[in-house]
Structure 1
Amino acid sequence: MNRLTTVLVRLALFLAFVCAWEVLPRLGILNARLLPPLSDVLAMLGQLVGRANVQEAMMVTAAEVVVAFVIAVPLGAVIGVAVAESEYFGEIFKPMLFYVFSVPKSIFLPMFILVLGIGFHQKVAYAVFSTLFIVIMSASAAVESVKPEHVLVARSYGATRRQILFRVYVPSMVPILLETLRIAMIFNFTAVMIAEMYASRTGIGHMIANWGENFQMRQLFAGVILLAVVAILFNETIRWLETRCSTWRT
């Protein structure tokens, strides 16, 4: 199947989905109170974007996501590199990291609420905790992906530790780390949404939870579409950066 055919099939499936969403509730095949027609949802989305309280909630959520991401990624990368580079730290912490990584992080949310209360710090801390382990594991794998012979050649030519880091390690690790950023943002964004829906007074996740509890389905689906668009835009931006850096692979 060539590229054009693949694109056309994807477009056809998307159009079929859109048409079904619009037509089936209109014909009464699906309950319009549970699944409003797409045109009604999009009209509501336009109204929500213009509301001051929704804009404020989006800003709160964006701040939580950005702060947690900025903390979790560098911290996880440093720990991951240390675990991969040090045999001592690797033997001690790698098994522990694998065990903690396999545990669903949502079960720890009540502990964060009890310790930190309900607010900005609690949501950021929980998002950092949820994101940290995937960054650690990926950074460790990125370091281990560097070919030892490249490091050996650099050392034989008298390269300093700094030169080896930026001329050998970084170019080899960047593609993996960019992929990690995409995955980390998914974990980060999901954690913030869970924290806002579970126990929060602010944020778009809190508003979506309220819309669902109050059976405001047009607002609910409009909020979901809004968050989906933001997530897709970020994902595609990182994918574009990854493609640009693909020539750095060794």
Structure 2
Amino acid sequence: MIHRAKEIRDDPVQMERQEWKQRQRQHRLKQALTVSSPIFLLLLWECFSRMGWIDARFFPPPSAILFTFWELGQSGELFHHIGISLFRIASGFLLGVIPAVAIGLFMGLYSPARHFLSPLIMAVMPIPTLALLPIIIIMFGVGEVSKIVTIAGSVFFPVVINTVAGVTNIDRIYLDVAKNYGAGSRQFFFKIALPGSLPVMLEGIQMGQAIALLTIVAAEMMGANSGIGYLIWTSYKAFLLKEMYVGLIVISFFGYLFSVLLRGLQVKLLPWR
């Protein structure tokens, strides 16, 4: 055994292979822990609800919720609400992110624009978007546009602030090198400003997608006749708590899914990180 260990230490290839296997084992352990925690919580919930240790009227067992999920899916009602909410989220998210990135890059690159626009953004940002919903409804009516604008408004601020921070935090040496080599405005934008701001910008976009989910649920609760938020609110009012939990699970699932997709995009766009 000692002789085998000495051979591995003396062979760089063997050492590298052993280190790779060790990393793989650690990775599998982390994956197992990640999956086991929600399963463990669901099992506790199921047992406590079945045994009467928690009130099954308010906390129905997960198996019953899963059956309700299946019924709503079979009837098509669940997918109807999901489709409408996803359309609103996607439209509002793009409507908020695209101008936020453009304005954030503009503010980060040009100091006069940053000093001119920063007070306006900082003054409006603390106001909850839902508090502005009456004004949004007055301007855009009670249809789909008002809900999309509400989501866009909630997504806009974290993205624009993070984009500005990403540009202004670019190392000065890169800016000097670009100027010394005579980089034009187009080259400076695509080769320096945009790649340099991407790490912080993507964190703002990640935050924006979480806020979009929160906003759509609240907006659909307040003034809608469809969507996941509407399903949660009407189920609560009718004391159909299994249906309410189905809506909560769907929101949780999409929040996790969007987060994973954005993290995957971040890995593709920022391989050096």
Instruction: Answer yes or no: same fold by TM over 0.5.
Output: yes
Give yes or no for contact 1:172–1:248 (8 Å, CA) kept in 2: no
Structure 2 match to 1:61: 85
Larger Rg, first or second structure (1 or 2) = 2
Q: Displacement of 1:235 after TM fit?
A: 0.5
Aligned-partner Cα distance in 2 for 1:175–1:41? 39
Alignment check: 8 A CA contact 1:179 1:242 kept: no
How far does the alpha carbon of each residue in 1:130-189 deviate from its partner, in whole angstroms, 9 at most, with x for none? 111111111111111222221221221222221121122222122222222211111122
The residue aligned with 2:109 is 85
Give 1:7 shift: 4.8
Match of 2:147 among 123, 131, 154: 123
1:226 is matched with 250
Q: Report the count of equivalent residues.
A: 248
1:180 and 2:207 correspond: no
Give the aligned partner of residue 62 of structure 2. 38
8 Å CA contact 1:45–1:226 kept in 2: the answer is no
Residue matched to 2:234: 210
- For 2:126 and 2:40, the matched residues in 1 are separated by 38
1:94-105 superposed matches below 5 A: 94-105=118-129
- The answer to whether structure 1 residue 166 and structure 2 residue 200 are counterparts is no
216, 236, 254: which one aligns with 1:192:
216
Of the candidates 170, 190, 211, which is equivalent to residue 146 of structure 1? 170
The separation in 1 between residues aligned to 2:176 and 2:45, in whole angstroms, is: 59
Structure 1 residue 205 displacement after superposition: 1.2
Q: C-alpha separation between the residues in 2 aligned to 1:164 and 1:89?
A: 18
Q: Distance in 2 between matches of 1:111 and 1:26?
A: 47
Shift of 1:50: 2.6
User: What is the CA–CA distance in structure 1 between the aligned matches of 2:181 and 2:116, rounded to whole Å?
Assistant: 34
How far apart are the structure 1 equivalents of 2:254 and 2:121?
30
Further displaced range: 142-151 or 67-76? 142-151
Say whether the 8 Å CA contact 1:197–1:209 is kept in structure 2: yes
Indicate how the Cα distance of structure 1 residues 224 and 35 shifts in structure 2: closer, same or farther if over 3 A, else same.
Answer: same
Q: Distance in 2 between matches of 1:16 and 1:191?
A: 30
Structure 1 residue 115, shift from structure 2 partner: 3.4
1 CA distance for matches of 2:241 and 2:113?
51
Q: Which moved more, 1:215-224 or 1:106-115?
A: 106-115
> Partners in 1 of 2:159 and 2:202 — Cα distance?
11
Q: Secondary structure, in 3 states, of the residue corresponding to 2:239?
A: coil
Q: Distance in 2 between matches of 1:248 and 1:168?
A: 15
RMSD, aligned CA? 2.0
Q: CA deviation at 1:83?
A: 2.0
Q: Per-residue CA shift, 1:185-243, capped at 9, x if unaligned?
A: 11122212111011111212111110011010111111111121112111001112212
Q: Secondary structure at the match of 2:271?
A: helix
The list of structure 1 runs, each at least 4 consecutive aligned residues, that deviate by more than 6 angstroms after superposition, is none
Q: Any gaps of 5 or more consecutive residues in structure 2? A: 1-25
- Judged with a 3 Å threshold, the aligned counterparts in structure 2 of structure 1 residues 88 and 157 are, in CA distance, closer, same or farther, namely closer
Q: Distance in 2 between matches of 1:57 and 1:9?
A: 33
Query: Residue type matched to 2:109 in 1?
Result: E
Query: Quick one: distance in 2 between partners of 1:50 and 1:122?
Result: 31
Closer, same or farther: CA 55–133 of 1 in aligned 2, 3 Å: same
Aligned 8 A contact 1:174 1:248 in 2: no
* Residue 134 of structure 1, aligned match among 141, 158, 179: 158
The share of aligned pairs that are identical, in percent, is: 23
CA distance in 2, matches of 1:154, 1:89: 21
| Structure with more relative contact order (C-alpha pairs < 8 Å, separation 6 or more) | 1
1:15 paired with 2:39, answer yes
SS across alignment from 1:243:
helix
Give secondary structure in 2 for the equivalent of 1:50.
helix
